[in-house]
A and B are shown apart, each in its own frame.
Chain A
């Protein structure tokens, strides 16, 4: 029987902490299965060997923050059949997008001795603002099981089972008692996309919104309710200005609470 060519997988890094691509290495038990099915052609965190493109599947981590990266992402797109962004940076601009709410120069002058050597863009932006993205995998960091599901769906030519509904659905399926109702706010679960298997609520913490806004998020309603419960504009602003601060629904909500 003729050996089928294994699909080539590449991992690319832009402005990010590497946590998401490490999720791939973290798939210990399944990593050998993955390498049996795909050729890992480019994965700097794991190996310096780089196989030439084109690539069948590119996983892109990180946001676009420099003019150089804004060029490089087009090369990645050109050499990739499927491009999947992984994590909050690549999908929403990441925690570094907090600077989008201020003038970036006010930060660079504080951090660097000679900021004039830096070439940075005014904003940290998601990959989809620059090139066409085939699928966005959310999370800060991503859930390795969801990553496997995406790779798996790609290999088998099917739609990934990555739902757009709320974290509350996972909470309730797990039988977790809702902390929002039984202890008090805040918990961003009702406006945040599922995917973490309700990690924080499982440990009696409110959801921080790592997976970004869910489908049809109604952030205005929950904020209005929480203000009636005594939360302040400042608290609400900080709540929505986390890892997904620049995702549209969270950005608009935090801006509505600017003083």
Chain B
């Protein structure tokens, strides 16, 4: 574990840029902290923080020493790996069928992967990438676009030293400190005389960049202070979720009266799935031109909250809001475990903050747990 001064962030960005990476990081824009291209450390949201609660997000002025003093951006990293709208291929009609035209020629369809360095990935979002890897890099089916882009990433985690009002990574075991899967991990530490970073590498790629930076060995008390900050952060999560036997409880209680209560509030607007860093569903639309000779297949983010999502011959299988809300929660916290061996929720809290009526997944799961009809094994 090493220590770098705050000013070294610019050298870090330059080191990445000189290796051909586009540096993507947090920046304040239109009343929120978004993830977009940043050129230097001055683009970071210095002295800005965010307050989050169900259906409410506000930027506030914060600690002037900190560049990463906010909690979590509404924009998750998935849009860089799973673009919201992606043209998969173009084709022309021929006398005996059709011919795909863009395999090598059209440069933008689908877009070519870029070398991207993500600066300021939070530990929960890092785990979300691991979950997306299981979906898109599975042994049987691989998404070639995801794979190509994933291989071009440089991941810089910034550990959390402050939890937000809707965070519950502590319950999901994904934060507030990242354990593995990054190239470089930073922890921003505030001191009266200004902030500094603890820095560690998690890969050879990361170590190679780190060697270029002006750094010194971290003092034992600095490492201790970071550990303490992690403990403090874990203890101050805005939300908690009891995960013990949660998978079974949700699976076994499809008719729990609470589903009706929440269905009465849910707008089926799909915001929760759109902001969720692990929701991966998409639909494809085949689009013809007016002549019918040229066609494109376009993939778009979809959600289990839409009627079309479960449309099969004759209608939608999940016609009621109740069945759609239940699909979302049971997938995230129950059937995902059967599919991928882990919960599909990393506890980032985005679905709570960005739900227009403040529906809280932790509160709903907790309500199902009360008076549930599951026979639990004795401890």
Interface residues of B in 242-290 (CB under 8 A from A): 264-271, 274-275, 285-290
Query: With a CB–CB cut-off of 8 A, which chain A residues contact B34?
Result: 175, 177
Given the complex of chains A and B, what is the CA–CA distance between A153 and B289 in angstroms? 9
Contact A190 B288 (CB under 8 A): no
* Neighbour of B356 across the interface among A164, A173, A190, CB < 8 A: A190
Query: With a CB–CB cut-off of 8 A, which chain A residues contact B268?
Result: 166, 215-216, 218
The interface residues of chain A, by DSSP majority, are classed as helix
Given the complex of chains A and B, what is the CA–CA distance between A149 and B79 in angstroms? 26
**Counting CB contacts under 8 A, is A68 at the interface?**
no
The contact string, 1 if C-beta is below 8 Å from chain A, for chain B 27-64, is 00111101000000000000000000001111100000
Task: Indicate the member of A183, A189, A218 with the most B CB atoms within 10 Å.
Answer: A218
The number of inter-chain residue pairs (CB within 8 angstroms) is 131
Chain A, interface residues (CB within 8 Å), range: 35 or more
What's the minimum C-beta distance from B81 to chain A, rounded to whole angstroms?
Answer: 14
What's the minimum C-beta distance from A31 to chain B, rounded to whole angstroms?
Answer: 10
Interface residues of A in 138-181 (CB under 8 A from B): 148-149, 151-153, 155-156, 158, 161, 163-166, 168-169, 172-175, 177-181
Contact A190 B267 (CB under 8 A): yes
Given the complex of chains A and B, what is the CA–CA distance between A204 and B32 in angstroms? 12
Contact B275 A172 (CB under 8 A): yes
Task: Indicate the member of A151, A169, A173, A179 with the most B CB atoms within 10 Å.
Answer: A169
Known contacts A175-B84, A190-B267, A218-B267; A37 and B356 CB within 8 A of each other: no
Contact B31 A34 (CB under 8 A): no
**Counting CB contacts under 8 A, is A225 at the interface?**
yes
Interface residues of A in 15-73 (CB under 8 A from B): 30, 33-34, 36-37
Besides the known contacts A179-B31, A190-B267, A214-B269, 13 further A-B residue pairs in the complex with CB atoms under 8 A apart: A37-B291, A166-B269, A177-B31, A181-B55, A181-B57, A181-B353, A182-B30, A182-B59, A215-B268, A215-B307, A217-B267, A218-B265, A221-B267
28 A–B contacts, CB within 8 A, in A order: A34-B290, A163-B306, A164-B308, A165-B303, A165-B306, A168-B271, A168-B356, A169-B274, A169-B306, A172-B274, A172-B275, A173-B274, A175-B84, A177-B34, A177-B74, A178-B74, A178-B354, A181-B57, A190-B267, A190-B269, A190-B356, A214-B269, A215-B268, A216-B321, A218-B265, A218-B268, A222-B267, A225-B357
Report the 10 A-B pairs with minimum CB-CB distance, sorted nearest first: A172-B274, A190-B269, A173-B84, A177-B32, A165-B306, A166-B269, A225-B357, A190-B267, A156-B292, A168-B269
